[in-house]
Each structure stands twice: as structure tokens, then as C-alpha cells.
Structure 1
Amino acid sequence: MRVVTRALTGVATLAIVSGMSATAFAQDAQSQNPPAAEDQATVDQEIVVTGIRASISSAQSIKRNSDQIVDSIVAEDIGKLPDVNVAEALQRVSGIQVARDRGEGAGIAIRGLTQVLTTMNGREVFTAGDGRSFNLQDVPAELVAGLDVYKTPSANLIEGGIGGVVDVRTRKPLDKKGLVVSGSLRARYSDLPDKVKPLASLLLSNTWNVGSEGELGILISGAYQERAFGTDLNDIGSPLLRDDVIPGQTVVAPNGSYQPAIGGNRRRIGLDGMIQYKPNPDLEFYAQASYQDFNSIQNQFGLNIPTTLSNCPTPAGGARRCDPIPGTAVLAPGTNDVQKISYANVPFSTFGVSRDTYDENQQYSAGAKWDTGPAHLSLDVNYSKSKNTLYYAELDLAGVAPRIDQDITTTVPTMKISGIDLNDINSFTVGSMTLNQNYYTGELKAIRGDASFDIESDFLKSMDFGFRLADRTTDFKPVRFFQTKGGSAAPYSSLFIANPLNDMFSGSTNIDQNFLVADFNKLRGDFDGVREQLGIAVEPAVTPLGIYSIHEKTYAGYAMAKFKYDGGLHLDGNIGIRIIKTSLQVVGNRATFAQRPGTGTSPSNPAVFDQTGFAPVNVDTSYVTALPSANIRFKLTDKLQLRLAASQAITRPNFGQLAPTLTLVPGAQTGSSGNPDLSPLKSDQLDASLEYYFSPTGSVYAAAFYRKVEDFIQSSSRGQETIDGIVYQITRPANSGNGKIKGFEVGGQTFFDFLPGLLSGFGVQANYTFVDSNTTTSFAGLSAPLSNLSKNSFNVSGIYEKGPVSARIAYNWRDKFLTGITGSGSALGNYPTYRKPYGWLDASLSVDITKQVTFTLEGSNLTRAKTDTYFDVPTRRGNWEQDDIQVMAGVRFTL
């Protein structure tokens, strides 16, 4: 509580005294209306953003003049910090919390909700997978002109995000006249892998006069990024009750340890091209194509040492496995939580893993805009397709350790093996071999039309109408393989190598570093050759039960009125409704079974079932949704304004949740499945924002929000079902959860122009967000906060810009948050897992060498944030993880 109080006091004091802000980052783009059809028209095109000060001023103007509660970031701001992808660029916006993947920004939550819709230039975009979202880390930041975060919807925004909408704006050739050549060349050093990788970008744009009034523009841009990465991880196993550790006492002991060292390389490619043609100022035609390619080549090596008796079956006639050594257990004071313990005869495994992911996204669009008198018309057609692939291959060595010693009180938790040579192939048998390959593909075809008609009235200013037809498909095909060879590993020594990542946590002696692992290059390049060398005849195969195809069509239309009143009370805003019909066709397979003759005649002769084949599953469903929205702004003075908004929003179920695939285990009479009949999540939303603008770059604000969400999707058993004459207990996802999210944001920004000389170049931005949530869970009678949501978070940025020098230092902090709830199935009950608070520090420096060339130096994760989790209470530790520090240096140029 003292930490929260200090954070609140510190941020509030800074906001009041210094007038700091970190909400609005933006550039010259229309924010008065949400993006419609192809683009979001720029305003104030004459303004040239030449530095942070200008971009903050432009962003503040956009926030101040918008119909809705919108925050933005522009290319100038993105370029001044080491944000290499879109997700990282969003982390400094108030109300947004960013999840990280191997030290890079990945998914986001807006005001506590991860159900965020992503659009690109106003068009829905996605990355193929079992979800609906777009992988924001696929897009290189250099290709982005701006990012707009819509925290309140309006009728002309595409539906689908109860958390909000993020619109990624790319550059357009007619935004800047004449020939433009700009780019960057940088090198990035990552300290854990101790490697340097390149980053480069290039933009070419030109415009021409066509006829007396016409103009033509063509733009091509591209970016290439590589990053070597490293992650050290020590994951303490989930706690379980044991009565064999201390005589006469039941204690809570961790289930051993999982210790992977992770390293690899990521490559990110982005390409964008656009043609704009304006035969006259009132008519525009355009065509655009965008491409993103992201792959992550990852290797993992480590030890897996479970210690619970269920993981340690004792061989017939042999010594007891995972046997606690008397007198070695030490409990945390005042608890029954084991902190130190030793075991005898512990089975363990070493593993070598190749884990690679590939994303490829393509977007194509064309359209026209026509302004004729009081009418403003636009038409846009677009096509997107995406592929997402996961390749996971693993081969284990198995052994039995005479003794292991565990100590979770040290900074890096200890798990040491003794009594066995981990570098002698004769110490091992061949363990399990695994191959998982997931192939997702998706397509989206859409057409959208929008019309706005100006009205001369003292109150009503325009009526807007529009439609959108979208046709989306997603397909999934899994390949699976799992076999355990067994037997001595010595004849297959050529398949194993010394652990190449043996410097975890800077060579910490708390964990074993030197041991044999599978050769990752052979697993990646010649899996079948390894399988054949081991003498395993079974081949990897497509799993028919996992295959599914989903075809979704949406038909949307909206009507919206914009109003303005300049009487005694100055107000403006919009009110409207969006109506959508969603139609789904879901196709998949399920297994069929028959009882074996002669079985099931008595309790001593239980029924035995044999799979006889597969039966198709084909489900059609549809529903209609109406989404009203209202946004109103009161101009209390020239500098002070109040915004109020009320709306409803939906997010449709993820494709993986809709999948009809049904997995059955006849002997156990259990099964699991998706649910094609799921309904969308619904949210009732209320928002308010009070904003005070005291200078072109100075403002303070306070915003409050409330979300009531119905039909969260949770998986649980829904009773018995009879399939092919067999009664099963089936676990399915269902719309069974409700939740409430409420909170507030405060922030501000200013430059200290009143200071003399060089000191006038200093500025500051800050924001603080409080989010309180409570939702039902799949565990009966148990409610909890939303997972991965910190109740308290803040951003503070110090800025300096004077003459040729520009510098920033930015700190992002998150309070502890729930990562999940474990149903232990034992007397320990259901318990939560939390991640402790952490901060993330970035900094940048740029110096203009000439008017055309700027030197840049940037650093990310400079304090090396740690992941430190615990189960329910801090004395039950979870995982301890660290990612690399990154430093980038290079040049930006404009010719």
C-alpha cells in the first residue's frame, strides 16, 4: 500500500506542479472522426514536424479537437525512443499495459481488456491463428506514420474490440510534396547472446502535378530488423501438499524445477507501397499494398526435475524415488512452506528444443473519395491474407539423480544435481521425442462505403451513413508426434552435444549449467533423420481431430449524427448506432468409437472401446447485434473541456474457442471440445475526461472509465453427453463469466520554456492509471481480477530538446498482477499466481550532424527487469526470469 501511495503522490504532484503528460503522442492527422474506409485524412498539412516539441504540440491539438477520447503517437515520437515494433510504441500511452515476449513488446490491454481490435488505415487486419487479433510486434515501427488509440467507440468505427481500437496509420505520398528520400541504418547489441544485429529502413516518395489541378503521388517504404535474444529462466514447480517431508506434519513443497536457457534470432521485414491520384481537389483514387514478415528462430536447453511422487514412480524392487532426505527440509518462519529440501533418487531429463514461429501478413486495398458540395463519399475494398506457423521439436535424455538439493531463498533459486556425471552419455537413457507443427491460414475480403452530408442547422451539423461487408476464413491443420524410445543413449551419442547456453544468470553456480542435450540443428533440419536413427518407425502425422475451418460473414451498417451548439453552453459530439449481423459456418471432425465385443459384461470385465473412424461436424449459426454510442464534449472555457461518452461494444469469440474439434477418451469417459454456439462478449461502457490545455505543449487531464462485461468465455464441464452410446463428461468453453472494470487516468505534459537559456529545452511527460477489476472464474464461487492486469501503472519521461540535441529517458512501471489460477485438485485448493511489480527503463539520444543526418544512440531494458512470480504467497516462489539489455546506435537521414 505504501508503494501505491507513493506512486500516486509522486505522479499527482508532478502532474500538478509541472503540468506533465504522456497521453498524447500524435502527428498531423485527422482525429475529428475515426478512420473511415481507406484513410484518415490529414489536417494542418502545412505543419512540418521537426522535433519532439512540434509533435507533442500536434498530438495535443488532435486530442483537444477530437470527437472522442483518443490518444495518438506519431513517427517522430516513435523514432526518439528504442521502440522497434508497434506494441512497444504503445506502452507509453496512459491506460495501456504491454505484455512482453522475449523482452519485446507483444500484446496490449487497454484499460484492463486485451480484446483490442487492430485496424490499418481504418481497415481490419489480423494475424492468422486461433485468435482474432493482429500481432502488433509484426510491424516495424519505422513504417508507421502514427498510431491512434480509440478508447471510446463511435458508430462508424469497425466493431470487435471491447477494450478499444488501435489504428495503425502508414505514410501517404501526398502528405508531403516533392521528392522524399529518408531512412535509417542502425546496429543493435544484445548482451546475453553477446551479438550485434542490423536494422535498416528506407522511404522513397515523390509527387507530380497532373494537369491544371491534379496531382499524383507514389510511395515505397521498407524496413528490415534483426535481433539476437536471450532469456534465462528458472521455473519452480507448482506447490503441492506433502506429508512425507517432516514426520507428523503436512507441508507445502514445490514440485522441483524447470530450467531452460533460451536463445535465438528474430527477423522482422515490413514493406509498404501506395499510389494516390487526385485529378482535382474534390476527388481522390488510391491503391495500397502492405507486407509484414516476422520469424523467430529459438533454441532451448535445460533441465526438467519434477520431485512429486506422482512424477516419480518407484520401480518394482527398487529404491523409492523422489524420497525426501530426513532433516534437510527448512520452512519459511511462521509457515508450512518448504524453502530448502533435498531428495534422493530423483528422475530428471535434459532437453534440447528447436522452437520456431513464422508470421506472414499481406494487405491490399483500393478506393476512392469524393467531396461534392455538402456530400462526402468514400468507397474502399480490401483483401488480406495471413499465415502463421509453429515448429516445435524436442528430444530428451533421461536419468536418475542420486541426490538433488533445492533452495528457493537465493536470488536465483537453486536446484543442484549430485552423484551423476551429466556430461557422460552413459548416464542417460533416451527420453521422449516430440514434434508439434501448427499451420494456420486466414483470409479477409471486405468492402466499405461511407457517406456524410453536411446540414446547415444551429444544432445538427451532419448525418453520416455507411455499410461494411466482410468475409473472413480461418483454417487450422496440426501435425503431431510423440514417442519414447527408452534404452541406453550411448549408441546415439552423435545426436547429443554439450549445452551451448551454459552461462545462465551470468554463470550462476546456483543451477547446473553443463550437461548433454539434443543437437538443435538436427532437430530443426533433419527431424525424420533423427527419428530413423533412433529406430522409431512411427511418423509425424496430421491429426484429423485437430483440423478445423471457420467461415465468418459480417454485414454492418451505421447511422450517426454530429451536432454542435454554441449558445450559453458550448458543446459538440456525435450519437449513432451500428447494427451487425454475424453468420458463422464451422467445420471439423470428431472421433467415433465402438465397444469391443465381449467387454463390459461385469465390473471385473470393464468395457473397452475402439476408435472406428471420424465423423464430420458442421455447424451454422448467426446473430444480430446493435451497438449504440454517444460522445459529447462541453467546452467549459477556452482551455477547459469535459468529455462524456456512453456506448456498447462486442468482441467475437476466438476461432480456437469456436472450433468444433472434439477429443474423447472412451475409457475414462471424458472429453474436451470447442463450442461453435458461443456468443460474443458484450460491454456496457461509460467514460469521462476532463482536460485543461494551458499552452501549445502543456496540458493536464483526468479521465474515468467503467466497463460492465457480460459473457466472458470460460471452460468447464457442462454435464454428461452421450456420443455413440457412450456417456462422456465433456469440457467445453461457454459464455459464463461476467466482470466489472473501473478506474481512472491522470497525466500531463509541459516544456519548461520559462527557464533561461539551455534549460528551456527541458520537458516532462507523465501519466498514472488505476484499474480495478472483478470477474467470475471457471472455479465455482471464485472471483478474481482480470489476469495480466496491474491495478497501478505509470509512465514518466524526461525530455530535452535544444538545437541539434534531443534526448529522452522513459520509465514504465507496473504493479503486481495475476497471471493465472491453478486448480490443484488437492487439499491445497485453487490458488492464484502473481507477478511482482517491475519497471522498464529506456533512453535515447540523437544529435543532428547536419540538416540531413542525425546520429542516434538508444538503450532498452537498461535496468534489466526481472520476472519474479509466486504462488498465492511470496514464500511459494514461481519463476525467475531475465531478458537481455539492448543498445542501438546508428544514423537517420533525409535527402
Structure 2
Amino acid sequence: MGGVDQAASDAEDVIVVQGIRSSLGNALNEKRQAPNLVEIIQAEDIGKLPDQNLAEVLENITGIQITRTAGVGTGVQIRGTNANRTEINGVSTVASGSGRSGISFEDVSAAIISSVEVTKASQAKTIEGSVGGTVNLRTIRPLNIDGVLANLRLQGEDSSLSTDGINPRVSGALGKSWSTSAGEFGAVVSGSWYQQDVTAFRPRADRDNLVASDSGFASAQSFDFLPIQFLNQDYDNFEYETLNISGTLEWAPNDNLKFYFDTVINDQERRQESSRVQASGVSNLRDISVPTAFETVNFGILPGENGPQDLGSIEAALAGVIPVDLADDDDDPNLRFSSDTNSRITDSRIFSAGTEFQYGNFSGRIEGSISSSDSTTPSFNTTLNFINPNAPLDPGGANDNSVPFIYDLSGGALTFAVAQNEPFGPSTEQLLDPANVVLRDVNIGQDIAENEELAFRADFTYDAVDSIVGEFITSVDAGYRFNRNTALRDQIRTNVGLRDLSDSPSGDLFAGLLVPGPSNFGDADGRELFVGDFLLIDPEQVAADPDGALATLNAAIVAHGGSRTIDNPTSTQSGFFDIEEETHAVYGQVNFENGIFRGNAGVRYVSTDVSSVGNTIISGVATPTTTTGSYDFLLPRFNLVASPLENVQLRFAWGGRYSSGGF
């Protein structure tokens, strides 16, 4: 008995350490054993994938590039394309908006994902629909849990460029597996809720529209040069609030049978509050605006058959003042303020249920799933023109007039500001006076996008190791998949452009909607030359109460005596469509291994029927029109892996596409 007790004590004293080294090793082994070209990232622990969303996680994979918006990963490119397929636990996701490539990666928190698999070379059993590759996001499986899983992470992010203080991030997971007389049961739920506030400062200066040395302009020099064409100060602020929940139930009555149910819920609200300060009409002053400094722009050297060819250079405006000259141009340059309030509110749901089984050499998986995503994209974008009280109004009745500017592009800084010390320069008080702005543009949208996929799949495998061909063919796969996709889009919009002062109400008629614009444009890089005093229609107010803001602006137009009011948003006949797509797919695949070689060869056949409803517009009259079509493809696939040395692998992949039908 003493020996048995000692053995039990020794077993209890064993410490198993799992961490990032273990996760890296597991991912590497999984990649090595894959018969095709895949990349895998495994979490050190649930909730501990690097970065904040899946786009930023995928940036760590070789051959993948991401797109960032204000520093946040928002898009993923595999082999240079966005046309990729996204799955969660092997189940299709549908687009969070107008795309067809699956859920937006910015909508999925890395905290609920246990591993990420990117397939760059497909097999016959790989579901069709991607150009670059397939991304499969895996959540934790409860029957893989030993005992109890429980974790909670609390984080916060504070940015000196944000006005919202600390943004919280909360994530956690709770799971358990247990044995009963009815078999093994497991349940796990993981979730994440976070807020994020990011800001981008994007100045812009264009230099083109050549001023020649012999032009005769007052600005002409002894050399040709490029004058200032356009100046823009763009401030973008994005606020995210994201909720992700993933849950799984599993029941294994015995070692050869398992049932499961998965659900994934993703809710995101993304709001954009951007402002633009535009110096418009500056190119019209190129004939009198004399730069005080120039820089040389070299066009480089072009290689050629007869040797390199020098493309030369040109001088470009670097610093100076764009003045007001009433004799030459009675309303340019002018000052314009824009406020963009765009949101995307998305609710995505995935539900799947299925079974996995094994009977002798046969094994299989049967699954049904439904994926949906509904998005609305409300927007309320406005532009105000500044009416400089120090300059005369445009005699033609246009709702803009002259404002001088100063610019300095030294070191690529692209800085400019209102030249308040120049003739006609407005004061700070004048720039912030509601009576000195008028309404120029209003664009309102309430677009909707609804996507859904209903799918059924059955996959079977025969293990051929013990068969007569087992020395070469290891297994044979075959399966069938059906899916029905629906996609509805409806553009619900209204817009009005007010160009005449007689139609444009002044800001004192809607002063309750006006707020000072962001004054921290210099915080990003310490610049001193920027526009920090201006008025905007408050993005917070129009986002919270767009109907009230619209009523206020229309009341101002009526009080002003304008002839054009702003309509309520309505469905755009040319922007509506409703598509239904049904697909049947079957495949067969042989997997082989012999010596240093392993791989697979197979073929997938896909047949699709499409029905599309839209509007045909003739002479302004919209007639609902239904278009149908069908097509089918034969998709052969071949993958080969050779391992001539222990740590060396050579991979080859080939795929084709043959069509026998079309629209």
C-alpha cells in the first residue's frame, strides 16, 4: 500500500506549465501536419490572443496585410485581395454590410477566439467562395476542458487625443466538463465588451495647375512652378462599442458519438464624428498668390533600353499667403466647414447544431447552421460656408466670400490656417459667430443591409490505413453541402445643396445645433499652424436626434425665406435589390502519404441558382424586375507536401475552375 500511496502522491505533485511557448509549439505542429498550405495562431489561453480585434491578430501571419482606419484594423487581404471567406468553427459568416466576404474583422474581439486558421491553398472539401483564402476562427470546445475554466480580464485604454477618458475592455470565459451515467457533458461561454475611441488627423495639400514662367501672371517667376491647388484639414474620430458572446454545449454519449450546439453573437455600434476645414477656390488665385518659398520636386529616373532617363524636376510652392484680391476674383478663396456623422449598427448571429460520429473505419459530421447580419448605417452630413463680414458679398448671390490663408508645407507638415493678420482676415470672434455661417449642404442616409445564410452539410471519411491500399492512401473524404443566401440592400437617403445666399439660412437661425469644432488638431504633431476656431453642426445632437435636427434646419430655411427645404430620407429606387442564391456542392477527395510525401487530390462540383429583384427605371418610372440565372463549376484540387529533411518542407498546390453554364 505504501508504494501505491507514494505513486499517487507523486502524480499529485506534477505541475503542467502551459503558456505562449506551448501555444506556439501546438500551432507549428498543426501547420506541419496540414496537407495543404495553412497558417495558424493559437491563443496562449482563452482571451489572450494578441491585439484587440481579429484584423490586428491576422496581421501577424505571413502573407496577410490589413487595412487600418484611424489606426484600427478594419480589413484583411490575403494574397492581395479582400475577397476571402470567413468562418467561425467552420460555419459560414455573412457580411456586416454590403460585402460578401463574411463578418467584419473589426466586429470580432480576439478575446473570444482560441485559435485562428488561415487556409491559403484549398482542398476539394474546402467550401467554395474565396479568392485569396479562408479564415476560420475557432472558439474553445468544452469537452477539451479539464475540470473548470474561469477567467476574467479588465483593461482600460486612455489616449491623450481622446476626449472620452478611459475606454473599458472586459472579457471573460466560464466553462466546465463533467462525466455522468449518460456520457460526457461540456458547456462553455466566453464574452467580451469594449469601447474604443480613436482619432486620425489628416491634413491635405495639393500642388498642381502649372504656373509657367511666361504666363504673364503677377505670381510668375523666372521658372515654372506648381502653385497651391487645394488645402484641407481633416479630423476623424471613431467611437466603437462592441459586444461579443460565444457559447457551446457538447454531449458525448460514448467515445464514438458527439452532439454539439454553438452560438455566436456579435453586436457593434461604430460612430464616426469627423470634421473638415476646407480652403476652397485657392487655385483661382494662382495668378496673384506669390509663394515666399519653393522646394524642388524630383521626378526620378526611368530605366530604358538606351540607359536611364532623367525625368527632371520642378519647383513647387512651399510657403506663402493666399490673399484676397477683390479686383481679380471677388469671392475667392473661401472657407468651408463640414461635419460628417456616420454610424454602422450591426447585429450578427450564428447558430449551428450537429453531430460527429465514428463507426469502425467510417467517421462523419452532419451539421445545420444559420448565419445572419443586419446593419443600418445612419448618417447626417452637413457643410457650412463662412461669410466673412470683412469682405463684400458675392455680387452674383453665391453663399461664399473671400478669406485669406497662410500655408507652410516645410518638412511635409502640410500646415495652413486662416491668415487673420492679412487684409480682410477675420478675427476669432467672427469665426465663432453663428451669424457668419450659412447652411450649404445636407446629406442624410438611413441605408440598411440584411444578409442571411441557411446551410446544411454532411462530411464523411473512410480511414483506409488498414485496407489494401493503406500503404499509400490514408483516407477518402466525400460530402455534400447546401446553402441558401439572401442579401437585401436599400439606400434610404436625401440630400440638398444650397448655393445661393437667398436659400441658405444663417447660423443664428439654428444656433442651437452649432458647436465649436475640435481645436486640438495641433496635438497630433505639435503644429502651430492650423484652423482651431470654427463652427460645426453638433454631431452628438444629430446622431441622438436626427429627426429633431432635420426639423430645426427646415424651420431655419422657412424663417430665412428659402425656396428649398430638406425632404425626409426615402428609398432610392436605383439603390434597392434583393438577391437569393441557392447552391448545391458535392466533393470527393483522396488523402495519401508515402515516404517523404503526403497530400491529397480531389474535385468539388458546385451548382448555383440565383434570383435577383431590383428596379428597372425608364423615364423616371421604377418597375420591379426579377432576373434569374444559374451556373455550375467543377473545381479540381491537388496538394502535395514533401519533407526531405526533418525541419524542411516543400509544398505544392494546384487548383482549377471549369464552368459549363452561366447567366
Residue 492 of structure 2: aligned partner: 479
Does structure 1 residue 235 correspond to structure 2 residue 204?
A: yes
Residue 508 of structure 1: aligned partner: 527
Residue 199 of structure 1: aligned partner: 169
Does structure 1 residue 614 correspond to structure 2 residue 598?
A: no
Q: Deviations over 1:295-314 (max 9, x none)?
A: 112212231223366xxxxx
Answer yes or no: is the 8 Å Cα contact 1:300–1:354 preserved in 2. Answer: yes
Aligned mates of 2:583, 2:125 — CA distance in 1? 15
Alignment of 1:126-141 (within 5 A): 126-133=94-101, 134-141=103-110
Give the deviation of 1:284 after TM superposition. Answer: 0.8
Residue 647 of structure 2: aligned partner: 639
Answer yes or no: is the 8 Å Cα contact 1:502–1:514 preserved in 2. Answer: no
Unpaired runs of at least 5, structure 2: 1-13, 297-312, 325-331, 387-400, 420-424, 558-564
Alignment of 1:269-284 (within 5 A): 269-284=243-258
Does structure 1 residue 555 correspond to structure 2 residue 584?
A: yes
Answer yes or no: is the 8 Å Cα contact 2:96–2:374 preserved in 1. Answer: yes
Answer yes or no: is the 8 Å Cα contact 1:299–1:355 preserved in 2. Answer: yes
Does structure 1 residue 350 correspond to structure 2 residue 318?
A: no
Give the deviation of 1:591 after TM superposition. Answer: 2.3
Give the deviation of 1:341 after TM superposition. Answer: 5.0
Sort the Cα spacing of 1:236 and 1:77 in 2 relative to 1 into closer, same or farther, 3 A: farther
Give the deviation of 1:258 after TM superposition. Answer: 2.4
Q: Is 103-112 or 299-308 further displaced after alignment?
A: 299-308
Give the deviation of 1:449 after TM superposition. Answer: 0.6
Does structure 1 residue 335 correspond to structure 2 residue 314?
A: yes
Does structure 1 residue 492 correspond to structure 2 residue 516?
A: no
Q: Secondary structure at the match of 1:132?
A: coil
Aligned mates of 2:650, 2:246 — CA distance in 1? 39
Aligned mates of 1:528, 1:238 — CA distance in 2? 41
Residue 633 of structure 2: aligned partner: 625
Sort the Cα spacing of 1:474 and 1:403 in 2 relative to 1 into closer, same or farther, 3 A: same
Does structure 1 residue 392 correspond to structure 2 residue 379?
A: yes
Q: Secondary structure at the match of 1:255?
A: strand
Give the deviation of 1:80 after TM superposition. Answer: 5.9
Q: Which of 90, 107, 110 is the aligned partner of 2:58?
A: 90
Q: Which of 408, 433, 445 is the aligned partner of 1:436?
A: 445
Residue 36 of structure 1: aligned partner: none
Give the deviation of 1:231 after TM superposition. Answer: 1.6
Answer yes or no: is the 8 Å Cα contact 2:491–2:576 preserved in 1. Answer: yes
Residue 121 of structure 2: aligned partner: 152
Alignment of 1:362-401 (within 5 A): 362-399=349-386, 400-401=401-402
Aligned mates of 2:448, 2:655 — CA distance in 1? 37
Q: Secondary structure at the match of 2:129?
A: coil
Amino acid at match of 2:69: D
Give the deviation of 1:336 after TM superposition. Answer: 4.7
RMSD: 2.6
Sort the Cα spacing of 1:80 and 1:451 in 2 relative to 1 into closer, same or farther, 3 A: closer
Q: Which of 44, 65, 68 is the aligned partner of 1:100?
A: 68
Does structure 1 residue 588 correspond to structure 2 residue 575?
A: no
Answer yes or no: is the 8 Å Cα contact 1:441–1:476 preserved in 2. Answer: yes
Q: Deviations over 1:774-833 (max 9, x none)?
A: xxxxxxxxxxxxxxxxxxxxxxxxxxxxxxxxxxxxxxxxxxxxxxxxxxxxxxxxxxxx
Q: Secondary structure at the match of 1:514?
A: coil
Answer yes or no: is the 8 Å Cα contact 1:232–1:262 preserved in 2. Answer: yes
Does structure 1 residue 531 correspond to structure 2 residue 531?
A: no
Q: Deviations over 1:547-606 (max 9, x none)?
A: 11111111111110011223xxx311100111111222121113221xxxxxxxxxxxxx
Sort the Cα spacing of 1:527 and 1:641 in 2 relative to 1 into closer, same or farther, 3 A: closer
Q: Is 466-475 or 251-260 further displaced after alignment?
A: 251-260
Aligned mates of 2:231, 2:491 — CA distance in 1? 29
Give the deviation of 1:167 after TM superposition. Answer: 0.5
Q: Secondary structure at the match of 1:426?
A: helix
Unpaired runs of at least 5, structure 1: 1-45, 310-320, 594-610, 652-676, 680-895
Aligned mates of 1:617, 1:336 — CA distance in 2? 57
Identity %: 25
Give the deviation of 1:56 after TM superposition. Answer: 1.4
Alignment of 1:441-452 (within 5 A): 441-452=450-461
Q: Which of 475, 489, 495 is the aligned partner of 1:462?
A: 475
Answer yes or no: is the 8 Å Cα contact 2:494–2:566 preserved in 1. Answer: no
Give the deviation of 1:48 after TM superposition. Answer: 6.8
TM normalised by structure 1 equals: 0.61
Amino acid at match of 1:339: L
Give the deviation of 1:82 after TM superposition. Answer: 4.8
Amino acid at match of 1:546: G
Aligned mates of 1:201, 1:185 — CA distance in 2? 7
Q: Which of 163, 170, 183 is the aligned partner of 2:152?
A: 183
- More strand by percentage: 1
Answer yes or no: is the 8 Å Cα contact 2:631–2:662 preserved in 1. Answer: no
Q: Secondary structure at the match of 2:548?
A: helix
Residue 518 of structure 1: aligned partner: 537
Q: Is 195-204 or 71-80 further displaced after alignment?
A: 71-80
Aligned mates of 2:46, 2:532 — CA distance in 1? 39
Give the deviation of 1:78 after TM superposition. Answer: 8.7
Aligned mates of 2:65, 2:317 — CA distance in 1? 34
Aligned mates of 2:571, 2:435 — CA distance in 1? 35
Give the deviation of 1:388 after TM superposition. Answer: 1.7
Q: Secondary structure at the match of 1:73?
A: strand
Q: Which of 80, 83, 107 is the aligned partner of 1:112?
A: 80
Aligned mates of 2:529, 2:607 — CA distance in 1? 58
Q: Secondary structure at the match of 1:332?
A: strand
Answer yes or no: is the 8 Å Cα contact 1:574–1:632 preserved in 2. Answer: yes
Sort the Cα spacing of 1:326 and 1:293 in 2 relative to 1 into closer, same or farther, 3 A: closer
Aligned mates of 1:153, 1:80 — CA distance in 2? 28
Amino acid at match of 1:348: L
Instruction: Tell which has more relative contact order, 1 or 2 (C-alpha 8 A, sep 6+).
Output: 1
Give the deviation of 1:412 after TM superposition. Answer: 2.5
Amino acid at match of 1:273: G
Give the deviation of 1:424 after TM superposition. Answer: 2.2
Amino acid at match of 1:479: I
Give the deviation of 1:264 after TM superposition. Answer: 4.2
Residue 230 of structure 2: aligned partner: 256
Q: Deviations over 1:696-722 (max 9, x none)?
A: xxxxxxxxxxxxxxxxxxxxxxxxxxx
Give the deviation of 1:375 after TM superposition. Answer: 0.6
Residue 292 of structure 1: aligned partner: 266
Answer yes or no: is the 8 Å Cα contact 1:579–1:625 preserved in 2. Answer: yes
Answer yes or no: is the 8 Å Cα contact 1:261–1:501 preserved in 2. Answer: no
Give the deviation of 1:69 after TM superposition. Answer: 1.5
Q: Secondary structure at the match of 1:56?
A: helix
Aligned mates of 2:377, 2:24 — CA distance in 1? 41
